[in-house]
A = this chain, B = another copy of it.
Amino acid sequence: MLEFADIQAAATRLHGVAHRTPVLTSRTLDAMLGLRVFMKAENFQRMGAFKFRGGYNAVSALTDAQRASGVVAFSSGNHAQAVALAAQLHGCRATIVMPHDAPALKLAATRGYGAEVVLYDRYTQDRAAIAQALVAERGAALIPPFDHLPVMAGQGTAALELIEDAGALDALIVCAGGGGFLSGCAVAARHLLPGIRVFGAEPQRGNDMQQSLRSGRIVSIEVPRTICDGQQTQAVGVQPFEVIRALVTDVLTAPDAAVVEAMRFAFERMKIVLEPSGASALAVLMRHREQFAGQRVGVTLSGGNIGLDRFIALVSGAEPVD
């Protein structure tokens, strides 16, 4: 199982490579919600999302011989960019398996970091199988997006920094897809603050992790149709779930409309850009504020990779959400 020492080792590897992103606060938000919020702004991370932490740590953990054969990853977007950039920084080749309907900005950015992109249809094809075939054919190392200890350890460094900067917190809410970010952050947070309550945040339509945690076994769902493209996972990873079951209090959800509201708030009042998945923990806090009344609450703003056209379509209501 993931241990705090793994996260400390990741923090050492990431030092001077990843950005130490700021912890944002908002008097307006605090007054609106009746609590104190400390937001870890991973939209300012390299390549625009927390995923750089895990991707870099995983590529860094390979041997020179392994890196010489290149790396392969499958991802709906940000993990793709993370592995592509991490490979570029290590001077090794990357092949990324991405859904054909991934946001254009994420496809372009992944190619921009020098990676080869292989497209698949997320509703009909199995990305893991495609990636495994590439691994077998090329002898490359697979960097899974979440079910992989070095990835989980890297993601956990975000919670480590948040607590170092914000001090004691009563609760922490982490955007949850496959569970890599949530599990890493839970290990870091519960080690530093044993009494902290840690929550996952999922889009309402893709609440597989909530079902899994509440039932005690991994529940798999159809690919959820949500605007939160970073959280269209069908099931939590096995290794993340082991951590989450032990350390996470609950998983809370917000509908897509609440996610758009959180994106609007972040834009107008905080002057920052969040992609839908990046706003999901903030949306959950806004929607479940009564559970956190008077508390000091940490929230991850996990990414900001959204094109202007898509942002406008969502916040203007041109693309209706519910």
Contact = CB atoms under 8 A, between A and B. Distances in A.
Contacts of A311: 267
A281 to B, nearest CB: 16
Interface string A235-268: 0000000000000000000000000000010011
Nearest to A309: B316
Contact of A307 (B48, B268, B274, B308): B268
Interface residues of A, number: 21
B48 A271 contact: yes
A269 to B, nearest CB: 8
A87 B273 CA distance: 30
A110 interface: no
B316 A312 contact: yes
A105 interface: yes
Contacts of A312: 312, 315-316
Nearest to A271: B304
A155 interface: no
Contacts of A267: 273, 308, 311
Nearest to A21: B22
A95 interface: no
B316 A268 contact: no
Nearest to A48: B271
A146 interface: no
Identical chains in the assembly: 2
A103 to B, nearest CB: 12
Interface in A10-32: 22, 24
A271 B312 CA distance: 14
Interface of A, helix, strand, loop or mixed by DSSP: helix
A268 B22 contact: no
A273 B308 CA distance: 12
Interface string A275-300: 00000000000000000000000000
B105 A268 contact: yes
A43 B316 contact: no
A56 interface: no
A272 interface: yes
A110 to B, nearest CB: 15
A52 interface: no
A44 to B, nearest CB: 6
A271 B267 CA distance: 10
Interface in A75-110: 105
A81 to B, nearest CB: 13
Contacts of A48: 271
12 contacts: A22-B22, A43-B271, A44-B270, A267-B273, A267-B308, A268-B307, A268-B308, A271-B304, A273-B273, A308-B315, A312-B312, A312-B316
